[in-house]
């Protein structure tokens, strides 16, 4: 099994490095938005390598909603395939770390409630949904 593979996109890699190197005291907001983010630490679906991705922090109770919007691009982000293959993840929320299991939410009523929770934190998700023909994946990361 491979070790850690840093994100290939420069700003994402820098965000992860700042988050991790500061022990979760810096890099906890997405770019210049001021919107809190979490790190999702997961395994690659093909390599089994450790991967880390910052995602907007959408918390519902003790769980986290993970939305695979990718800015409304036509394809799902790679991390979506990783979570489908390896649902065991760690979530880093500032200085706290949690071991969680994710599940993709497809049941319409639950999915809509979680989507609305995401919109309450980051309204542009609605624009992303309008830009793409794909169904944007919604996952729920729950404590183990």
pLDDT tens digits along 31-62: 878 999 999 999 999 999 999 999 999 999 99
Burial class (CB in 10 A: 0-12, 13-18, 19+), 1: exposed
Q: Is the pLDDT of residue 24 over 60?
A: yes
Give the global pTM: 0.95
> What's the CA gap between 110 and 95, in Å, rounded?
29
Q: Is the pLDDT of residue 118 over 70?
A: yes
Classified as helix, coil or strand, 83 is helix
Residue 38: name the closest of 113, 118, 104, 111 by CA.
118
How high is the pLDDT of residue 33? Answer: 84
How high is the pLDDT of residue 136? Answer: 98
The CATH architecture to which 10-143 belongs is Roll (2.30)
How high is the pLDDT of residue 1? Answer: 56
Classified as helix, coil or strand, 125 is helix
62-111 pLDDT tens trace: 999 999 999 999 999 999 999 999 999 999 999 999 999 999 999 999 99
Measured between alpha carbons, how far is residue 27 from residues 13, 47, 99, 116 in Å?
Answer: 11, 27, 20, 25
How high is the pLDDT of residue 2? Answer: 76
């Amino acid at each position: 099994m491979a070790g850690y593979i840093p994100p290939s996109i420069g700003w994402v890699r820098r965000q992860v490095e700042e988050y991790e190197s500061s022990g979760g005291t810096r890099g906890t907001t997405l770019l210049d938005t001021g919107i809190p983010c979490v790190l999702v630490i997961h395994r690659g679906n093909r390599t089994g390598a450790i991967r880390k991705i910052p995602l907007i922090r959408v918390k519902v109770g003790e769980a986290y909603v993970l939305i695979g919007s990718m800015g409304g691009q036509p394809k799902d982000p790679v991390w979506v395939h990783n979570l489908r293959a390896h649902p065991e993840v760690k979530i880093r929320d500032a200085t706290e770390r949690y071991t969680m299991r994710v599940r993709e939410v497809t049941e319409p009523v639950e999915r809509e409630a979680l989507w609305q929770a995401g919109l309450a934190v980051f309204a542009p998700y609605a624009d992303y949904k309008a830009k793409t023909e794909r169904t944007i994946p919604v996952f729920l990361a729950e404590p183990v």
